[in-house]
Structure formats: structure tokens, C-alpha cells
A and B are shown apart, each in its own frame.
Chain A
Amino acid sequence: MAPHTGLVNTGLIDTEPAVRVRDLDRRFGERSVLSGLNLTIGRGEFVALLGQSGSGKSTLLRALAGLDHDVTGEGGIEVPGKLSVVFQDARLLPWLRVLDNVVLGLRDARAHGTRALAEVGLAGREKAWPNELSGGEQQRVALARSLVREPELLLADEPFGALDALTRAKMHVLLRNLCEAHHPAVLLVTHDVDEAITLADRILVLHKGHVAVEQTVDADITPARRAEIRARLLTALDGDTA
């Protein structure tokens, strides 16, 4: 496995963090989804967010992305201006060709877009329609669309949830390589514990509206340590320890 090169592991953490969330509350009607949530993500740090279905992972991510228009709640959120979102569905506009999807909203970025497509292994598919691509390829286009914006923060909400196991494993390698090349801070929402351990520098478990468990992952993790972390996270996900 590729060694982790997140800045948190190389001792550069004392610079300004990329993300700072203080006392975040989010409610839907009477129901409180996030309460008193605190979160800091360092520059270039890869953080995975685990949590049961309905625990508020997407709500947190949408709050960070500024997409929660009609949601009530307070709290301080500091995020970089350059942030990109990758959704669970690739969310490509079917009437735009692949390259036009990648550079959507950008000006004079076609050369960059072509390069980004090559980076995700889709060189030569610039003119294809999204409908002509497989699910994995569509998600790679979505990754290229995010990367071409050179984000300081990449928010991803279960981006590989709809892919088969083999494609997902390939996407893991791709995402790691891309993050090493571009160094965005990443918040990856997932329900897959192994995915979190494979990809992240640090793993958070969301429970009862706040971060209940925090687990750093060593850069050169041994199988024994991996199993130990896995067990701890699985217990935390069951909600017993929180």
C-alpha cells in the first residue's frame, strides 16, 4: 500500500488548518441532527467520516459545502474558498460532453480539463457523452471536475458507494495518488470502515450529533494494528462506546 503522505504525519500541522468547525448545530424541525460538533482538518490532511446511516454525515458535509440553505442551526464554519464537492452519483450533466462537464463553470480551462481527464485515466474520452461511460468512469469524470478547480478542500459524500468492489479498489488507488499530487484537505464520508482505514490519515465517527471517536491511522500500518483499528471503529459504529 502506498505510504500516507498527509501533512499531519509529516509534522507540518502547526500552520492554519483548512477547516475549522465550532459548536455546529443543525436541526430539521424538532429533530436535532448535529449538536455541538467540533472539527478541525489540517491542510492536505485526509479525514474520513464514518457514522451510521442517518447520523448526519451528509448534513455536516452539506453545511461545509454551503449547500444547506433551508436548514436551521448555528455554529462557526471556516472553510477555504476553493472547495469542491464529489457526490455519490457522478452528477454529470447528460447534455454536456465529458470535457464540458469537467470545465463546467470555468473559463478558458479546456487545456486544464484535458489534463485532468488524462490524470484520471480518461484521455481521449473528452468528446464522449456521460451516458456512454460506465459508472466508474463517470465517477472519475466527477473527480476530474473537482481536481481541475485545484481545491484546497475536497468534500466527498460516499463517492464510491455505488461502485462494485473491484472498481472501488481502483478508485481508492486513484484518489490516493491524486491527493498526493494535489494535496487538498479531504473530508470523505463513507460507511465502509476498510475504505476509511485505507485512505485516511485520520478517521472520525459521528454519533449523536458530534464526533464521538477519533482515530489516527499510522502511515505504515501493520496488519495487526489495522485489525485493531478496524475493531475499534466497528464497535464505535455500533454505538456502544459513545
Chain B
Amino acid sequence: MTVAKLELSTDPALKLDADSSSGAKLSPRAELARRALYYMSLMREAEDRIERKLYRQGKILGGVYVGRGQEAIPVGAGLAARPEDVLFPSHRDLALYFMRGISLREVFAQYMGRAAGLTRGRDGNMHMGDLRKRIVAIISAMAASVPVAAGAAMALKYQGKDDVVFVFFGDGATSRGDWHEGINLAAVQKAPLVLLCNNNQYAYSTPLDKQMACANVADRAPGYGIPAEIADGNDPLAVYDACERAAAHARSGNGPYLIECKTFRMTGHSAHDPADYVPKELFELWEQRCPIRRVERRLLDEGWDSPAAIEAVHARVRREIDEAIEWAENSPYPDPSELLDGVFERKES
């Protein structure tokens, strides 16, 4: 078999240092905050274009799900993950793709159903992955990725590696049997699995108290004999720290570790959903906790960056996205003659 060759990406955010106003060497914490800002800004802006512009213009079809307000979770985790670690994003973790070096062009082409998209038009929107970059495509059935991630983690252990697997899901997914089966299997196998829940308090229109009778997703962990912690899901550095602890636990052979990131979904379930069922006050409350504003404040308060430098990050993001959208819009659709290809391996006969 052709095992996909690992292509480790160069982190585009590192380029920020060159762009930034101060040439002085930054503390590791400041570095993290800067990279977090870049990727959160990139995710927010890309998803705003997708959800609020291109979808409404009819240029993007199908289901559109975004992680508005939850950017700190994929970004914090993505910063903690090593390049060889395997990622299983949920439908609200777009930043992970960028952090693995998947280009904006590929992502917008994917959303527009173009041949240059990650799935060549075979699947749509956030349903994408690339094994060479160790990022596994979303499985549409909620929580189905947990057993698969458990198996990937078992394989890493089998191979004697100290890499770990990160699997992402929402609060609603934790009601499915697959979630429980996957964690239980990983727990008895002591497989190196980091479980990241974005508890955004709604699953589609269903609030948490109709989803589960315990107060926290973390409360489910003791039933599997694994540790869990609750993290501030709107602070990328808090998520990063929790992931570091979780990954260290998993890397040293202790098995899975669950992180529940408390956050809020700052939009509808998908682009067609006005979310009338969410009380306005909740949106207002959580707007105050916007992870992007928070990291900006931190950068300023600590004296790590100037307002101008922060604005430069957003400007750069907008520029990159403008360019990628234009490129994707002008890229070709897949050729229908390829319809039958790729169901099975093509054998030379």
C-alpha cells in the first residue's frame, strides 16, 4: 500500500515575526498569542466570507457550518499539537486546516466544489482532509470520528511512536454510542487520544439540558476511568495549556484525556439557521468574551504588540483571503468524466 507520506508544513504564522513592528525576541507566551491571533483572525474572516457572503450569493452551496466565537479551541489545540500528531476536526474547527498548511486557495476551492478543492468536488465544504498532513476528513455522523481516532491512536502505540491523536466534537456528539464506544476502547487500550469537546451549549436547536442530564461533558469521563478537565474555550492560551497537559498524559502511555472547552456558538447551527431559539442575552454575554478581542487585549496589555501591529494582522488576513477567493472562483469545476474514478483502487490490468 502507499502509506501517505507525511508532509510537514511550514507554519505561515511564523512569517508574522518578519512582518511585525518590533524586531526584538518575544517570549514563548507572546509568540503563542500572536500566532493565535493570526489563525483566529484567519478562521473568523474566512468563515464570515463563507457564511455571510459567498453562501448568500449562491456561490457556496450545501451545508455551511462555522465556528464563530469558538476559534480559540482549534487554534489553542493546533498550537499544542506537534506536526506528527493526528487531527480529527469537527465541523467547527476550520483553523486546524490552515495550521496544517492547507492553503486558503484549496479551502475556498473545496467550498465552491472546484477540482482544486481537497476532495476534488467529491465532498463539500468542511468535509475535507489530507492524510499527508495528518488531518482526517470529517465523518458526517456525529461522534463517528471517535472510534476512528481511537484506532489511529492504537496504531501509533502499536508503531511505538509518541505521537498522539486529537479528536474534536461538540457537546451533542457525546450522546451518541460511538462516542462512548470509542472512548471506552481507547481507555482500555491506553491509546494516546486527546478528546476535545467544544461545549457551545447547543446542538443545532437543542440546548445542553435536553442533551444530557449531567452538568458537564467532563462528568462523563470518570465512567471510563480517564481524566478530564474543563477549560475556558474562549481563551486560546487556556486551551493550549490544557492540550499540553492532555498530550503529555497521552504521550507517556496513560491513555485518553478529555478536555471540555466551555464556549458558545455565536451564530446559527448552519448558514440557513437564524437561531431564533437562542436568547439574545446569551449572544450579548458571549460577545463580551470574544476570543479574538481577548487575545488582542492580552497582546496590548502585556506590551507584546501595538494596535498598529494587530491591525496589520487583520489586514494581511483580508488580503490573503481576497486573493484566495478570487483564485478559487476562477478555478475549474471537476470534469464529470471523472465521476466513476476512485471508488476502488485503480489496478493496472
Q: A and B: real partners?
A: no
Chain A residues packing against B (C-beta within 8 Å):
none
